[in-house]
Chains A and B, each alone.
Chain A
Amino acid sequence: MAALKELLPPAKSTGKLHYDLSNDPWFKQRYSAAEAERSEVVKTNPVPLYLKRESFRPSKPQDFGDGGAFPEIHYPQFPLDMGRKRDMNLGQKTLPVGVDKHGNVTFDAIVKQNENASKIVYSQHRDIVPKILKDEMEEEKEEDDELQKKIEETTQETKNALEKIVNVRLSAAQPKNVPTQSSDSKFIKYKPSQQSAAFNSGASERIIRMVEMPVDPLEPPKFKHKRVPKASGSPPVPIMHSPPRPVTVKDQQDWKIPPCISNWKNPKGYTIPLDKRLAADGRGLQEVQINDNFAKLSEALYVAEQKAREAVEMRSKVQKERILKEKERKEQELRALAQKARSERTGAAPAAAVSMPSDRSMMDVDDMGGDYERPKERNAPRETKDERDERLKREKIREERRRERERERKLEAKGATMGKKSKVTRDEGRDISEKVALGMASTGAGRGGEVMYDQRLFNQDQGKSSGFGDDESYSLYDSALFKSQNTLSSLYRPKKDTDGDTYGGDEQMDKIMKTDRFKPDKAFGGTAEKTGPRDRPVEFEKHAEEADPFGLDQFMTEVKKGKKALDKIGGGGTMKASAGTSMRDDHEGSGRTRIGFERGRR
């Protein structure tokens, strides 16, 4: 044994699991003191005499001898360990320091204490250092059958354990296990102490049957079980990871989620950046992509149009020239013809006409005529007297006509500027067929297909044969023919172009047109009638006669006339009373007209 020890290197640590405290310098003091005390205990120190026990502290059972506590020493004393707390030593929160097999202090003993003692608890630095698996080959899994055996074993054990639990729970839930109630009853016979007829209905003896109260097995529990919070499953274990990284500014910013702001309400008044607002709108997000071909197309169209215009222009120019030439040619021909005829007739030299310049072709017919006459005058001495008279007459007529034409032309030219209608233009405004065709007139078509009827023919017994009523009540048309131009407003107003001569110059005209002088807006004070701006000529009314509700006047006149007045009293009288808008009340003999009623309307 000794030889072996010599061979082996000296042991790093003793086989003891626990550290030998006596060798530790830190513990030396305490342990030596404890040992000294122990040895002292063996010695039994004598109790000081009475009245000299101030400094005496009896703590060990031996200090008390065989007796009890010393009443004069004010110090907690436990003679015979009576009253001393059992687990005072267990409650100490100090763990003995231990070492592992390499002699290192096991600091993790603290985490492997009570419940964790049976568990695997990782607490070392090496437990978070990566381990490369030693070749899997060498650490090959257990043999298959061995593994199978292990699995079976585990399965069986677990199964049994689980079955036990399940069975207990199941049996608890089974109804057959309901405790049977004892059905035997007890009879108690007794004599009441008050033996009198007044008590106990006069019975001298009573029998009581006592049965256990039956319990409903399906009755729900009367007391509610409160769930007691369960103690935490296991003591905490060391955390085997580094503390989490502090949140960086960027992370914080990334996590900052701006508040949601409605497009319609913003009671807190958050500011929304303009770009965000636009982005939220979603309208600015889509960029409009326009195809290049659009530009090309429009350019091509433009070029084509230009070309087409040019071509058209050119063509029209050519056409015009052609027409001009044609005209010239024709005129030339005509002139030649005329010349020819003239020369034929007169026999004079045709050379003069032929030598006429071409620019004279545009001359008036009169000039032509003048041209035409001259050779005649030249040849005048040759003609007879009659011929001469006739010629002069002709010439006179011709001259007259010419003058008239001249005048007319001048008038026309003047009328174009001054607005005076010439004979030619005077009917211009009167032709409304075009306007009707354009639908500007409010004829039947303009009123939504309604046909216009002559209203005078309505509500008449005899139709047209009874006549059109009286002419004064003009109600043939209910609306103006042309709505666009207000005839009435312009009817009696002076017009600048037409009436300028009568009123003088522009200044005068303006004065007249703007003046309020002739406007019949003024009304008498105190009248109820409203006086708006007048838009139509003043209508003069026939003076309405005194109201004659009973028709007395008429009666009188008719009596005077010797007619049968009573024939028409009923009809006419009533109708008159009823406002008389219809045509029927305009029977002959009645002096009234509708005008009297129109007065109220204004």
Chain B
Amino acid sequence: PGNSGDPQKAGPQNDLAVGPPVLPKGINDGAGTSIAVAPSHGISERVLGTDPKATVMAPLFILALCMGSVFIEYCSRGPDFFVLHQIVGKVYEAFLLSVSCRNLSTSALVERIPSRWPRPVWHAPWKNYRVISGHLGWVRSIAFDPSNSWFCTGSADRTIKIWDLGTGKLKLTLTGHIEQIRGLAVSNRHTYMFSAGDDKQVKCWDLEQNKVIRSYHGHLSGVYCLALHPTIDVLLTGGRDSVCRVWDIRSKMQVFALSGHNETVCSVFTRPTDPQVITGSHDTTIKFWDLRYGKTMCTLTHHKKSVRAMALHPNEDCFASASADNIKKFNLPKGEFLHNMLAQQKAIINAMAVNDEGVLATGGDNGSLWFWDWKSGHCFQQSQTIVQPGSLDSEAGIYALSYDVTGSRLVTCEADKTIKMWKEDETATPETHPVNFKPPKDIRRF
């Protein structure tokens, strides 16, 4: 008695992590009764179970522990033979129990841990159904109209083209930038479209006149990403000058320069609640910003390579960030690290998007387009774009991708100057495309 508040055992229970972070010091907690010993050794064995040598050693270890505890008990209670006998019987029982448990259900024990990993939901595989070849250069950015009738793409040929979503026909070509267009956004509160490019310019287009009506001057180098605040009339742009700038849309005034990154800010997104602005950078960090004061709220340093793409889940309070080493999921608003995606794309990931159904799509620099289950991080489809005829194989690369407003169509902007549209394969069923999911063997730190 008196051992239930043992900090060693309580630690892992309070922890968010699964399993004990360190090897439990079984000798120390063996001071209790023999009954108390068994469960704690269950844990120790589970941990040791990963090592075959340790598995062999475990029973002996437990036996020794039990004898030790018996001896201690014996000392504390005095030489009462009956009690001693009882205790020895108990110890033996516990030992037998533990040994038989190990022998019978090692696999069950091993299986029990990954079983806590969520199972992936079945998603239909996606297939390419349309290729639009109209741009004369790399297609680098995309944005959808809130009414979901058209979308616009910005390209390295310095034009913005507006396409009909249903038919894929060109509706309009806008010129005005003098370098490639890296960021596009369509406001759902105004009839405005915003574009940003390598020419350091950020432009506001009035879609009623198809003209540039405002230009936001201030970036010292190319602008790489652009985002609109959902509730406030501010525009956020991040660029090669390693600053994310906050613009007042109406007055063209720069409200803040969110400085703190050491490298190019290459991805940004906004939320209505705090943290309202989240930026990813080539300095491998993700920063949360307090938009009221223009200060950092939090810095995440989990990535090893530059964070080129981030995607906010439409419903859940979490987001994913992609870098060349891994795709990681973080919780919001605190930014707790959740987990990695369970595969490595082995490419520079330029773009990422997630829809309502939890299908995360990532487009790589080598033309790989992978589809992931959001909840479990399982990659259920690994496809590769096919370059249009006349292109080199090395021109397979995805620069931007986005779901339409409903999330049923995916549009990718590629280095072979085409725009490709993808949809789910209707004929696919869980029988034809079974989920081949192997949960991670053990939950280790990433």
Contacts and interface: CB of A to CB of B under 8 A. Distances in A.
A134 to B, nearest CB: 9
Contacts of A154: 272-274, 276
Interface string A226-240: 000010111001111
B5 A131 contact: no
A162 B293 CA distance: 8
B228 to A, nearest CB: 14
A121 B11 CA distance: 21
A224 B401 CA distance: 45
Contacts, number: 134
B328 to A, nearest CB: 10
Contacts of A132: 18, 116-118, 339, 443
Contact of B303 (A129, A162, A241): A241
Contacts of A12: 5, 7
A560 interface: no
Interface in B67-88: none
**Most-contacted residue by chain A among B14, B117, B296 (CB, 10 A):** B296
A241 B302 contact: yes
A233 B258 CA distance: 9
Given A230-B259, A232-B260, A131 B17 contact: yes
A552 interface: no
Contacts of A102: 7, 10-11, 14
B134 interface: no
A157 B273 CA distance: 11
B4 A151 contact: no
Interface residues of B, number: 59
A120 B302 contact: no
Contact of A130 (B231, B259, B339): B339
A10 B301 CA distance: 40
B232 A151 contact: no
A240 B338 contact: no
A237 to B, nearest CB: 5
B234 interface: yes
Interface in A109-126: 119-122, 125-126
Interface in A508-567: none
B336 A130 contact: no
Nearest to A133: B338
B441 interface: no
Interface in A274-290: none
B14 to A, nearest CB: 7
B302 to A, nearest CB: 5
B445 A162 contact: no
Contacts of B157: none
B270 to A, nearest CB: 11
Given A150-B273, A158-B292, A169-B253, A125 B248 contact: no
A242 B340 CA distance: 14
Nearest to B259: A233
A132 B301 CA distance: 20
Contacts of A461: none
A248 to B, nearest CB: 15
Contacts of B422: none
Given A129-B445, A130-B338, A9 B4 contact: yes
A362 interface: no
**Most-contacted residue by chain A among B336, B339, B445 (CB, 10 A):** B445
A119 B297 contact: yes
* B interface majority secondary structure: loop
Contacts of A103: 7
A103 B5 CA distance: 12
A158 B232 contact: yes
Interface string B317-349: 100000000000001001111111000000000
A155 interface: yes
A136 B15 CA distance: 18
A178 interface: no
Interface in A136-171: 136, 141, 147, 150-151, 154-155, 157-159, 161-162, 165-166, 169-170
A72 interface: no
Given A157-B292, A158-B232, A166-B255, A129 B302 contact: no
A128 B302 contact: yes
A161 B335 contact: no
Contact of A131 (B16, B231, B299): B16
Given A233-B260, A241-B301, A162 B248 contact: yes
B313 to A, nearest CB: 11
A127 interface: yes
B446 A130 contact: yes
A125 B260 contact: no
B301 A238 contact: yes
A233 to B, nearest CB: 3
A244 interface: yes
Nearest to A238: B301
A454 to B, nearest CB: 74
Contacts of A9: 2, 4-5
B169 interface: no
Nearest to B250: A166
A136 B14 contact: no
Nearest to B116: A132
Contacts of A240: 300-302, 337
Given A132-B339, A158-B291, A151 B231 contact: yes
A159 B292 CA distance: 8
B234 A162 contact: yes
B444 interface: yes
Contacts of A122: 300, 335-337
B336 A133 contact: no
B251 interface: yes
Given A136-B316, A141-B317, A125 B445 contact: yes
Contact of A166 (B117, B253, B296, B303): B253
B337 A120 contact: no
Interface in B110-159: 116-118
Contacts of B444: 129
B176 interface: no
Contacts of A241: 301-304, 446
A128 B18 contact: no
A133 B118 contact: yes
A131 B260 contact: no
Contacts of B23: none
A127 B276 contact: no
B298 interface: yes
Contacts of A126: 15-17, 21
Contacts of B443: 129-130, 132
A234 B296 contact: yes
A120 B21 contact: no
Interface in A306-356: none
Given A103-B7, A154-B272, 17 more contacts: A9-B2, A9-B4, A102-B7, A102-B11, A120-B298, A125-B21, A125-B445, A128-B302, A129-B18, A131-B338, A141-B316, A141-B317, A155-B232, A155-B272, A162-B248, A162-B291, A234-B260
The 9 closest A-B pairs by CB, nearest first: A233-B260, A130-B339, A129-B17, A161-B292, A151-B272, A120-B298, A155-B231, A128-B445, A9-B5
7 contacts: A121-B298, A131-B337, A133-B338, A166-B255, A233-B295, A234-B299, A238-B301
Interface of A: 9-10, 12, 102-103, 119-122, 125-133, 136, 141, 147, 150-151, 154-155, 157-159, 161-162, 165-166, 169-170, 230, 232-234, 237-242, 244
